A and B are shown apart, each in its own frame.
Chain A
């Protein structure tokens, strides 16, 4: 398998602010790689370095085996990019901006095919290309960048939080396009702070926090990180009896009984094992929710952070 993106020990400082602090990232050809982290973790900075728009302060980064800073122009022939916050030219229409970006990428040489691809995407994303740039909402500006990217054949698609302004229907269109380019053999780097989106689309995931990679692997490998929250209404059952019942379930953790709701967590691969007990209790208003990324971080790294604050040595995990 060939490596498309490789970064090791990547560092980036802006004055005294440290944006990247030894980040590692490995993306192989043909995979859809999720790049997960909370806001401000350094996702966009990494992407800007990979695109040769910013220069690393330390460490190495390669794209298709080449230095993106030195070979930006030639590497960009193989890349389609969707920025996190899409700005448009106020006096250009959306359609003009799409054509311009596609032409700059050299994706319009097969003129007839390009027009067909663009038209299909305009329809799928329900996008009106005739308005001026300033008249579009955030979601519509994002569609301009997405249509321009997916209308251009590329070996690598770099997408920085591409769905943050899209409604659920448009997210489905987006997911189909990812599946299409992936089936055609393209590599995708998808940055996001939404765990469910990444779970649905990605083969492998890297999780970063404060400019460092904290986890990387397939979703199955990362499954151990996630615990699912289970909650239901107490519905008249006496709390102490209930607490005794739940304590009796070996997989249940973090029990809370409050405001007429019972909640506890279960390792995500053990959810099925608690269902018989819930059925026996005949619970009402049951909700089963996967943890948000923030909760995941708190759960998995909160202890480590506290521990690290206590002892000066770097934790074993990093």
Chain B
């Protein structure tokens, strides 16, 4: 027992900051969101309208939950639970991989297994650690909802649903750690399980059977394959039924039993699925430093491009709903108008808002490419490349090229997906030109962030990662939410996103974009040239 306590203490200590940030962050998100929802939809008739719009549209339900009446608590649960459960799920699978497969992969687990703790106790400790983290998360979310003014019983049911869903993902994470040889594989499977669970219940909600008044939906069967769907099935604030959570806990128990059975028979470091071997020699694509930079970034690119495509198709397919929104939920229209300034049509406003988010995604992807250059340097692999005839300037220039390519591909993915979504529109031609303009308008701001990150890399290499994400995060928040939060103009003007051209048909003002292309090119050029005088800065 004492070895178990020691292992558990080690886990709590190692995670104390990371887990605290994750749990408190999720609880704070819950609290502020309750306040925001209660503020925006404080009136029952408003909730009535928005629920009817959502239920009628179906697509919106994928990103929300199961409509369950106009009670404020039930409405908040509908708006927020799936997102919060997604956060809790990711927290759980990352936590489990960190303490199981990642340890085994690094051979640290071998030290532990050679002590009286043995091979199995670390897994037990990880299970306890994960369950504790989810109980705390559930309790804090419940308290956040109560503090937000919601009914206590429903809030505790929500908390219980959060905890049970998270525990199911702890079990799934433990199972994935048995399956895969690498932490990358286990984390990938964990994220896929969480996102898959989110989408399954989204499909279940969207394909469910609506009631006549469009205020309730009975989810279709896919929801019953998802731990998040089981959490939703509690019908918090209305039915308050804990029975569906028995499914979460039951499945967790079965998975945990399988995990211990597997662990009992397998070798330390081995996995159920064998580690995959790769090519014995490099293909033509890996013929030089550019091929390497591309290869190192292509999987990142695919992830961001898929996200951008989903946002693109959502933007254009939902824009058909705008007429309905204008009639039923004028306050949504007002906020969009406020974001855009006067004079634009609602369709333009809608596309502009969504493609603004796509612009953030493209900038994120470009920043990640620039950060990869820093990671290569810190990891020591850049040294081997630069000890060959590849000059430092060319090396960084190639990362810039890859950055430009990923920006174009991410925007093109959103653009093509957006075009695919125009089929449902009454006026597809207008929408096509609007979407094309909107996609082009995001190019300059992404180039700025690519150039600025490379410049930070050239002059303050050790600060690249932190500074790049902070700059991008602040700018994105100012650019996206600044107008809604009523930030003053001078502050909004600090964010490059504010200067992205706004698509408005023939009236589009491209000057901001041209300026930013200039800035993007100038910063990148300065960064590349200054590599002439720059030493390699290892580690740290």
Contact = CB atoms under 8 A, between A and B. Distances in A.
A76 interface: yes
Pairs A-B, 9 closest by C-beta atoms = A99-B282, A87-B380, A104-B388, A93-B278, A130-B277, A81-B387, A96-B282, A73-B391, A95-B280
Contacts of B536: 48, 53-54
A131 B278 contact: yes
Contacts of B280: 93, 95, 129-130
Contacts of A90: 184
A81 B389 CA distance: 11
Contacts of B426: none
B387 A76 contact: yes
Given A83-B380, A101-B388, A53 B292 contact: no
B272 interface: no
B384 A99 contact: no
Contacts of B385: 101, 104
A212 to B, nearest CB: 22
A10 B441 CA distance: 53
B299 to A, nearest CB: 8
Name the residue among B282, B292, B295 with the largest chain A CB count within 10 angstroms: B282
18 contacts: A48-B383, A53-B386, A53-B387, A72-B391, A74-B389, A86-B384, A87-B384, A89-B296, A91-B299, A92-B295, A93-B280, A96-B278, A96-B281, A98-B282, A99-B281, A103-B287, A131-B275, A145-B384
Interface string B284-298: 001111011001100
Contact of B390 (A54, A79, A88, A104): A104
Contacts of A106: 389
A88 B381 contact: yes
Contacts of A81: 384, 387
A300 B199 CA distance: 72
Contacts of B289: 104
A95 B281 contact: yes
A54 B535 contact: yes
Contacts of B275: 131-132, 135
Identify whether the interface residues of A are mostly helix, strand, loop, or mixed. Answer: mixed
A97 to B, nearest CB: 8
B379 interface: yes
Nearest to B533: A55
A79 B184 CA distance: 35
A134 interface: yes
B495 interface: no
A179 to B, nearest CB: 24
A134 to B, nearest CB: 7
Contacts of B129: none
B279 interface: yes
Contacts of A83: 380, 383-384, 387
B-side interface size class: 35 or more
A91 B299 CA distance: 10
Given A54-B536, A86-B384, A95-B282, 16 more contacts: A48-B536, A53-B383, A76-B388, A79-B387, A83-B384, A86-B380, A90-B184, A91-B296, A91-B299, A96-B281, A100-B291, A103-B288, A106-B389, A131-B275, A131-B277, A132-B182
B279 A87 contact: no
A118 B282 CA distance: 13
A-side interface size class: 35 or more
B392 interface: yes
Contacts of A88: 381
A77 interface: yes
B372 to A, nearest CB: 11
Contacts of B386: 53, 72
A105 interface: yes
A85 interface: yes
B105 interface: yes
A25 interface: no
Nearest to A71: B391
Contact of A76 (B282, B286, B291, B389): B389
A54 B377 CA distance: 13
Name the residue among B281, B289, B392, B536 with the largest chain A CB count within 10 angstroms: B281
A210 B296 CA distance: 38
B292 to A, nearest CB: 6
Contacts of A145: 384
Contacts of A129: 280-281
A77 B291 CA distance: 19
Nearest to B380: A87
A93 B277 CA distance: 8
Given A92-B295, A104-B289, A134 B182 contact: yes
Contacts of B288: 103-104
Contacts of A48: 383, 536
Contacts of A51: 387
A89 B292 CA distance: 10
A217 B106 CA distance: 43
A99 B288 CA distance: 10
A126 B86 CA distance: 46
Contact of A103 (B276, B278, B282, B391): B282
Interface in B249-299: 275-282, 286-289, 291-292, 295-296, 299
Interface in A208-240: none
A48 B288 CA distance: 22
Contacts of B380: 83, 85-87
Name the residue among B181, B278, B381 with the largest chain A CB count within 10 angstroms: B278
Interface in B292-323: 292, 295-296, 299
A105 B384 CA distance: 10
A130 B381 contact: no
